[in-house]
Chains A and B, each alone.
Chain A
Amino acid sequence: MGEGSEHAARLLRAYQAQEKRFVERRFPLRFAPEVPALRELYSQAKGLHWNPETEIAWDRFDAARYTAATREAARRTWSRRAWGVYPGLTESTALLIRFCLESGSLGMDAKLFLSFRPAEEAKHLEVCYMLAERLGGYEPDPGEAGLARLSNHPFTQAALDADVPVEAFIAALGALDDQLDLNLHLSHLRQAKDEVVRSALRLIAGDRARHVAFAWTLLGSRVPALGAAERAAVIDTVRDMLANVILAGYRNTWLLPEKIREPWLAAEEETARQGLGASTPAQERSVLRATVTQVRERFAAWKLDLPRLDHPELGTI
């Protein structure tokens, strides 16, 4: 067995051990809507499906309009974005399995919604790949161990971890991280000038908005009934996600450690300048602050107090 397959076997055993901690009670298996707003989001997903191959006017994308330096920058930016989308395939799949393991009689709205989400993530991934390819080639490897580590977190396993309440996982990855990702996409869309890039960002943002709505709606249906320990876990998990993942540069290149942020940061700045689907660090900084404020205010409505954090570059956030 090679090193790769040994590692894969270790990972599989980790999933296997997690799955065994649940006792699935499949019956009674209920399908009727419990949270109509979640069922509505599922209905919207069905009605608003799209195909990256056919619904983006690729034939109107003229990469030759841009200089070689710009194309190189944009191809890097869209490659890095693909790495950021990819985990969604497995994280949302693991979350679907988690809901199924927890109960057959509860959560069908979420299960149906989550049965769609991996395919939506795959479409976003395809868009990132297609753009990178047209700009000179998708880059499959960060080529830098630090960046690879900071963009590779085992959240798929966290989704199946019985010690992490499902609400805490959704609060951290859905309400915070997905919300930030959506807000960043909207910022990129505002800056984008290329019509093909704009339509790609608009389609992705439409799906992302639904993913974020799912997180907030699900939390709204469950948080009020949580006990003290689960509420503490929600806050602890969100704070951890913010302090140790988001502020470490998971979504924002300018937050990466200085020695590894180049050449990715310069690439994003050039991509933003040419309107090919990025924002400047100053724009992203403002999006991040606004997102954290938005998340904190929404949590406060449930009397969940997200503590402020100190960051060397951002100050208190």
Chain B
Amino acid sequence: MLTERERSEAYVREQRYPLPLKSAMPDVWALWQRAKTLEWDPQTDIPWEELHPERYSAEQVLAAQMYWSRRTWGEYGAISESPALLLRFCLERQLPDLQFFFTMRTMEEGRHAEASWLMADRLGRYFPQPQNPPTAGAVGTHGVRRMAFDPETSLEGIFASLVCAAEEILIDVFKATVHKATNPAVRRLMELILRDEVRHIAFGWQCLDAWAPSFTPQTVRNIEAAVTTMIENVEFRGYRNLWLAIEGGSATPAEIDADRISCEAGLGGNTPEDEMQVFPEFLRKIRKRMAPWGVTIPMFDHPRLGKV
């Protein structure tokens, strides 16, 4: 069955050799080495005994359950979708540094998904789906797998949109709000996720900086389009935070408000005020960071954030 399909050319054979394994991007190689020294286990490295959900009101616990459930769905995208990038690195014969590092990233994202699920579960309940089915469209996918398998979508565009936009804003919000997580178990989990994600983002920027000298005008346009799509079609649809959804009609008020209530209880999440502050700053930062590559990220109109 396998070799028959191979012989009938139902499968396309990789051009695997020569197979270089020597590091050619020392900064990325260092991230791979560092990742191996910082492994952790959500079951044992979080002080779960200090979670004490019984100390919070029913409304607060429910909000935190919703927040951590939605984080689980988001992290799951990094198991279900972005590993496709590793396949692309291998078949495009990208440098071994990228291939090695990305295996750790997949592992770490699996850990984040498990940890977020555990947090919701230990708060009393994990929600396996949004309350109204249409919301699934907004929070269900960031579309990276489709992009990774699409030869017309450049790798640079995927990196810029997934790593330097979607992951960067996620971490900017985490960084800006981790101090509000007064619950020790929640705080520790956020710190551990943050520690991994900082490496993921460094990976994206390091690759793009290294490739930038060879960017063509088409590459630049691809990056601009991919980042714009990620902001407008993913962030502004509420993938990370439903409050940001421009057309948030299908999410329930409880879901939209969950981040704020959870955050104010010290159980993780962020408030609209945090978004108002962090999101424009994030856009200013990536615009400035990408400008030397010739990339221009447009201004966006958002009903609550204004022109950002």
Q: Which residues of A contact B (CB under 8 A)?
A: 4-5, 7-16, 19, 24, 26-32, 43, 46-47, 49, 51-54, 82-83, 86, 89-90, 93-94, 96-97, 100-101, 104-105, 111-112, 115-116, 118-119, 121-123, 125-126, 129, 138, 140-142, 148, 152-158, 161, 163-164, 168, 172, 233, 236-237, 240-241, 244-245
Contact yes or no, B41 A47, CB < 8 A: yes
Contact yes or no, A154 B11, CB < 8 A: yes
Give every chain A residue within 8 A of B99 (Cβ-Cβ).
Answer: 89, 122
Contact yes or no, B93 A122, CB < 8 A: no
* Among candidates B3, B11, B79, residue contacting A157 with C-beta atoms closer than 8 Å: B11
Give bound CA distance, A26 to B143, whole Å.
13
Please count how many residues in chain B sit with their CB below 8 Å of the partner chain's CB atoms: 68
Q: Which of B60-113 contact A (CB under 8 A)?
A: 72-73, 76, 79-81, 83-84, 86-88, 90-93, 99-100, 103-104, 106-107, 109-111, 113
Interface centre among A105, A122, A140, A155, by most chain B C-beta atoms within 10 angstroms, is A122
Minimum CB distance partner of B141 in chain A: A26
Give every chain B residue within 8 A of A129 (Cβ-Cβ).
Answer: 21-22
Contact yes or no, A31 B15, CB < 8 A: no
Give every chain A residue within 8 A of B21 (Cβ-Cβ).
Answer: 82, 125-126, 129, 138, 140
CB distance from A249 to the nearest CB of B (A): 13
Secondary structure class of chain A's binding surface, majority of residues: helix
Among listed B144-152, B168-176, B243-251, B260-268, interface-contacting one = B144-152
Chain A proximity mask over B5-48: 1 for CB below 8 Å, otherwise 0: 11000111111111111100000000011001101010110000
**Can you name 16 A-B residue pairings with CB atoms under 8 Å?**
A8-B92, A12-B150, A15-B91, A16-B146, A26-B76, A31-B72, A47-B44, A94-B87, A115-B110, A115-B113, A116-B110, A118-B103, A122-B99, A140-B21, A153-B6, A156-B90
* Among candidates B39, B93, B111, residue contacting A8 with C-beta atoms closer than 8 Å: B93
Given known A94-B87, A111-B79, contact A140–B2 (CB-CB < 8 A): no
B1 within 8 A of A: yes
Give bound CA distance, A154 to B32, whole Å.
27
B117 within 8 A of A: yes
Give every chain A residue within 8 A of B15 (Cβ-Cβ).
Answer: 4, 7
Q: Which of B229-243 contact A (CB under 8 A)?
A: none
Given known A24-B80, A86-B19, A89-B99, contact A54–B43 (CB-CB < 8 A): no
Give bound CA distance, A52 to B37, whole Å.
10
Contact yes or no, A111 B88, CB < 8 A: no
Contact yes or no, B6 A97, CB < 8 A: no
Given known A16-B149, A122-B99, contact A241–B17 (CB-CB < 8 A): no
CB distance from B60 to the nearest CB of A (A): 22
Give bound CA distance, A37 to B117, whole Å.
19
Give bound CA distance, A122 to B36, whole Å.
11
Interface centre among A31, A100, A156, by most chain B C-beta atoms within 10 angstroms, is A31
Among listed B125-133, B200-208, B280-288, B289-297, interface-contacting one = B125-133
Contact yes or no, B72 A10, CB < 8 A: no
Give every chain B residue within 8 A of A240 (Cβ-Cβ).
Answer: 1-4
Given known A105-B128, A118-B86, contact A168–B103 (CB-CB < 8 A): no
Given known A19-B145, A93-B106, contact A10–B12 (CB-CB < 8 A): yes
B167 within 8 A of A: no
CB distance from A22 to the nearest CB of B (A): 10
Contact yes or no, A51 B36, CB < 8 A: yes
Top 4 nearest A-B pairs by Cβ distance? A115-B110, A100-B80, A28-B128, A154-B11
Give every chain B residue within 8 A of A93 (Cβ-Cβ).
Answer: 83-84, 86-87, 103, 106
CB distance from A235 to the nearest CB of B (A): 10
* Among candidates B5, B14, B130, residue contacting A161 with C-beta atoms closer than 8 Å: B5
Give every chain B residue within 8 A of A8 (Cβ-Cβ).
Answer: 91-93, 151
Give every chain A residue within 8 A of B18 (Cβ-Cβ).
Answer: 140-141
